[in-house]
């Protein structure tokens, strides 16, 4: 695997190194030892899949409140998505910085999202499927989010938002002193 650092501290694009032959290709997409060698000592304990019927569907921006330490490895298994991370870790070098990238089923690239960083994506084509691997089991009482169009972040989405959960649409404006700001 190839790990490329992003502008957000601890977030990496993870590219699979393909071994190609007449059958197709083989590539490692997860290795605890390789992640640890890049400063990410994580064990994935849960995996989830998100199927999205329509282009323009937006999911996010989600993160887990402390004491959760949920890291995520996210990959687009079918289709193409515009993936966004926002660093909510106060006091860090990349606090309130955001990173956007495209994930698709052709490249099979993934993004590692460290704890305290909000994550969301917008589908760019119909019939998208996104795979999440998480370092902690989901705890609904610690689930939080920030609004996808909050002016505090200046996020730009490539398509009009066609489908979004009411919860994601209704998050309050982000304020640095709110308990939802990750520590």
CA distance 92 to 111: 19
Task: Out of 63, 98, 119, 132, pick the active-site residue.
Answer: 132
Is 132 assigned a catalytic role? yes
Q: Which helix (H) or strand (E) holds 53?
A: none
Q: Are 49 and 79 in contact (CB under 8 A)?
A: no
Residue 65: CB atoms within 10 Å: 18
CA distance 175 to 173: 6
C-alpha angle 181/65/120, rounded to 5°? 80
DSSP state letter for 34: H
Q: Which of 121, 130, 104, 149 is nearest to 58 (CA)?
A: 121
The CA-based dihedral angle spanning residues 166, 168, 172, 175, taken in that order and rounded to the nearest 10 degrees: 180
Task: Out of 62, 82, 98, 119, pick the active-site residue.
Answer: 62
Is 119 assigned a catalytic role? no
**Catalytic residue positions?**
62, 132
């Amino acid at each position: 695997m190839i790990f490329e650092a992003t502008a957000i501290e601890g977030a990496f694009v993870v590219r699979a190194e393909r071994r190609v032959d007449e059958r197709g290709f083989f590539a490692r997409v997860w290795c605890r030892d390789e992640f640890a060698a890049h400063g990410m000592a994580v064990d994935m304990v849960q995996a989830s899949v998100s199927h999205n019927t329509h282009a323009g569907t937006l999911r996010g921006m989600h993160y887990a409140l402390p004491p959760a330490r949920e890291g995520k490895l996210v990959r687009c298994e079918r289709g193409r998505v515009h993936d966004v991370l926002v660093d909510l870790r106060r006091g860090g070098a990349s606090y309130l910085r955001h990173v956007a990238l495209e994930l698709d089923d052709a490249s099979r690239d993934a993004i590692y999202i460290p704890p305290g960083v909000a994550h969301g994506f917008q589908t760019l084509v119909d019939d998208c499927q996104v795979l999440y691997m998480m370092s902690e089991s989901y705890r609904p009482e610690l689930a939080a989010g920030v609004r996808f169009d909050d002016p505090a972040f200046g996020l730009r989405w490539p398509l009009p938002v066609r489908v979004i959960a009411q919860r994601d649409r209704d998050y309050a404006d982000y304020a640095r002193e709110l308990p939802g700001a990750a520590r």
